[in-house]
Chain A
């Protein structure tokens, strides 16, 4: 599994083994479980992401989406369960597994004293690219996300949306086969959001696989072909978009799974006009 440093990220030929992917799932997590202190955050999450699919993970706040994704990519050790990326166990063979995935975690820091270009350059070097390739990819990605004008600004000074974009750029840097993105559109401006959407759609069209978590049901409905709904630390429903929404909108199906309804919200008297 070697890198070809000369290609622009996102294209099929730049990916290791690009073109004909083996018939193994891009991501297969089974029975993931994790507690923090006495609180069980994830209690049996299964995710099956076929290669080439655009997979959405939805769920209410605190349901365990981010925790599950962190376990799936090898950043949080599960109490139980397994995670495989293209058939490679993330915990048994992290070197091979992590080379195939690009990750955008939610809420984790970046080296804040580096500029965006420096950050991408050094991470590219750590990914095994030579200096010229790392520099070229850094420039490509900065331009792609509209960050090429931020030359002297340290990452610590970026706005929330800019941090999201540079994080996404780090995820794409090693031209992965699978992208696992936690809330990639949060705080991103509409123009950049459209760029990211276009990029992800192209990525999947070229044979890549994407897993993204989001609170935006309409976005997930538009982009994803498969969806998992996580509720209270468990996979409540998983399948194709149609299988999950069962003739309703995804929003209604989601609310139904939660046993919640927004139709008759009881407004406190003091709030009424």
Chain B
């Protein structure tokens, strides 16, 4: 049973591992091998703390397997149980075959190697310990794989509900927020003495009690000559593997015996009286999509969790300075999450295209619905953050930025998604949001970068106010209001015009149709291919970071206040070097933006449909 499935998986891998994806997998595999080398060094340390370190590494690796399905890495070419529903297979045989097929691939091979470093720890202890280590390593890898499959299967079933979408966004948002605020997290970790070997007492037992640490327990038992103890650990791993297999087989049975029961009912809401107009009707339609579509909810709650965690982490390092920015971070992420607004609705766009003249109403309704779902929460978060941070000048910075982010966000979500939509499966064909959202990395970064650019003039005026030009603060607010209105109205108009003129081409993209040969001859090299889009988005999105660091550092140096966040890190240098470093950072940012701008301009010039 497993052989044909493994052969199918092998063939699918061969087809999908090409170009950028192959490079990506190769890079990840190399990084994994590097981690395995580090684990081998840890394994060579026979001390108790060395073993604890190895168990910590295993726990982190194992947790990675559980997180992988949440972030949608891999799985796109995976064989699904429903593909084999028509074959007369018992669900256990099918599950065993699918499990075998899942083991084909770089991810599992690297994981076996990673856990295989147990052999380095066991080798000096004799052949029996080595055998125990090898068995434990393989079993741990299988347990990690099965755990990952159960998370993926649970996600696939619960993600069809709104609650599932909300919960699924949480762990990924926490991981992303922690990674984004890594510097502050490291400060907190450094203060805790964790890196100096002063680990909390619970860690020793904790990392050995989770399944990833059972192999370490087995090797330690073998080292003590406790054969029965070593066998018990290995048997426990085998038992857990069987239990997980049994659990996963239940999911397989449900999925291979017909559609998973997921009858959902929309709340039968009456059409409100105020919606009895063209614009009102379109707004209610769009608002209901925000309230009911798990994919939209997933992105919205991701933004919320991210903002809360991102701004709360610095509290661990002793500063509340990020809290007032929670609303701004939420607004930015909510806009970034809606960067594929038109793409999310897929080919349902045809209904709009069959009603020419209504494009503007549709665009404005989408903008208004985004604002209605985002602005109240962003404002509430900002108010709460300012209150928790206590009296400070922070409000003078935060308020204009928030105003611009909300206005420009409402403009960008329609403009970007109409310009470069990413096709996603229709709602009734979706599995998990992470898999279904498509590769929107470029769009997300483009929105973040453009929002940062929109904020810059208001921030500059506000900075002037803080540095001693009294009208600066008021001018910053006025500039923010004007920017917000202009960045809402202008991109919205551009989006409507694009829909009117290039609606069928947009539908082509959403339907996944290849461009025609004629279009391919006359059009520029596809500027919206994944790689180009990601590169452009990253340039637009990342360019503001060094500029912001440079400007904030200059303000901090001029102000004479101490640097308290990673954004003003250069200000910790001696004044002369701090200024030089800040200017260099600004230059780097300007250079990145200039390159991105040049790329955009060359695309626009070479497109026949501009």
Contacts and interface: CB of A to CB of B under 8 A. Distances in A.
Contacts of A170: 351
A126 B362 CA distance: 9
A152 B354 contact: no
Nearest to A101: B354
B276 interface: yes
A118 B292 CA distance: 13
Given A125-B281, A126-B355, A113 B348 contact: no
B347 A114 contact: no
B516 A111 contact: no
Nearest to B280: A125
A145 interface: no
Contact of A109 (B265, B345, B353): B345
Interface stretch (B118-126, B226-234, B323-331, B507-515): B507-515
B358 interface: yes
Nearest to A108: B347
Among B269, B282, B350, B520, residue most surrounded by chain A Cβ atoms (within 10 Å): B350
B293 interface: yes
A98 interface: yes
B355 A98 contact: yes
A95 B357 contact: yes
B288 interface: yes
Interface in A95-110: 95, 98, 101, 103, 105, 107-110
Nearest to A151: B268
B504 interface: yes
Interface stretch (A32-40, A50-58, A185-193, A245-253): A32-40
A166 to B, nearest CB: 11
Interface stretch (A14-22, A71-79, A219-227, A255-263): A71-79
Nearest to B353: A75
Contacts of A108: 347-348, 350, 507, 511
A152 B428 CA distance: 16
A103 B265 contact: no
A110 B289 contact: no
Contacts of B505: 77
State the main secondary structure of chain B at its contact with A.
helix
A115 interface: yes
B264 A112 contact: no
Contacts, number: 137
A104 to B, nearest CB: 10
A111 B517 contact: no
A114 B520 contact: no
Nearest to A80: B518
B348 A152 contact: no
Nearest to A73: B354
Contact of B265 (A38, A40, A154): A154
Contacts of B351: 110-111, 123, 126, 170
Interface in B252-283: 263-269, 271, 275-278, 281-282
B238 to A, nearest CB: 42
Nearest to B520: A37
B356 A118 contact: no
Given A76-B513, A79-B516, A125-B277, 14 more contacts: A34-B516, A74-B354, A74-B504, A75-B350, A77-B504, A77-B508, A111-B285, A114-B289, A126-B281, A130-B276, A152-B265, A153-B265, A153-B266, A170-B351
Kindly list the 10 A-B residue pairs having the minimum CB-CB distance in the complex, ordered from nearest: A112-B427, A37-B514, A125-B281, A131-B276, A113-B292, A35-B517, A36-B514, A108-B347, A109-B426, A152-B265
20 contacts: A34-B516, A73-B354, A74-B353, A76-B507, A79-B517, A98-B356, A103-B350, A108-B347, A111-B351, A113-B289, A121-B271, A122-B281, A125-B277, A126-B358, A152-B267, A153-B265, A156-B428, A157-B263, A157-B264, A157-B428
